[in-house]
Amino acid sequence: MKRVVLLGSPVAHSLSPVIQNAAFQVSGLDWCYEAIETEAEELEPALDRMRAEAWPGANVTLPLKETVVPLLDVLDPSAVEVSAVNTIVNDGGRLVGHNTDSLGFVRDLRAHWQVPADGVAVILGAGGAARAVASGLARQGLEIVLIARSPERARVLAEDLRRTHAAKVGVLPWIGASFAQIPEHCVLVVNATPLGMAPADQDTPWPPEVPLPPGAVVYDLVYTPKETRFQQYARQSGLQSMPGGGMLLEQGALSYERWTGRRAPRRQMRAALHRALERLHA
């Protein structure tokens, strides 16, 4: 049996094993997918093991999407653009880093919302997930405003976006006053932090005392619990909100295609994800 893994910390909550194992099963592949709790200092040994044992590939999640970049042999253009990797393909011992997060996010966003030709997108966070989201939105022609807990990471991301996409990018500090300074023509707010993820589901990236931009759409990359506090606030404010389950599915389907060279069985993957979410929220 061939082994594909998810590397990161924490990973116990992840539903990637559910959707990938469903895909392998329906495709008749004798493959298995499992999540391995991996700290930064354990990442290089895990990659060595991937080469030695000929694992077809892996996914990489928080907080390792940027850490893994210099440990790989080659970067696909998708990873070069984002400077973060969420998918590794083992090409005969040569580890190739891809990023399927960016395209996965945009595909899910466009399935639920007609992305306008201009406007401001506010992204909360500046890590690997934020990089993927920002790159995807910059490709759509939107102006980007970053609000992140790490000013240095936000500054570097802004510089990268200006260089690779000629994007107009602003950076605000992670303080309450910043959230009240969002430009009036804000059309989208994306939470690209883990704030609000179960079991810490009482956390929220947005200060409840600050109104959300009127008319903006809210997208929360967190998909457990079923409705985060951030999404609740959006709903109570009369705004459309979307959870991150759709992005999880799309980026996972793209990863599957990179590993196997086959078309992903999205319908069965979506059904498996839906069943898993229903069990979690029962």
Active-site residue set: 65
Report the alpha-carbon distance of residue 249 to residue 262 in Å, rounded. Answer: 16
Report the alpha-carbon distance of residue 121 to residue 189 in Å, rounded. Answer: 6
DSSP assignment of 17-58: HHHHHHHHHHTT--EEEEEEE--HHHHHHHHHHHHHTT--EE
The single-letter code of the amino acid at 74 is: V
Q: What is the DSSP letter of 211?
A: P
Report the alpha-carbon distance of residue 190 to residue 145 in Å, rounded. Answer: 10
Q: What is the DSSP letter of 227?
A: S
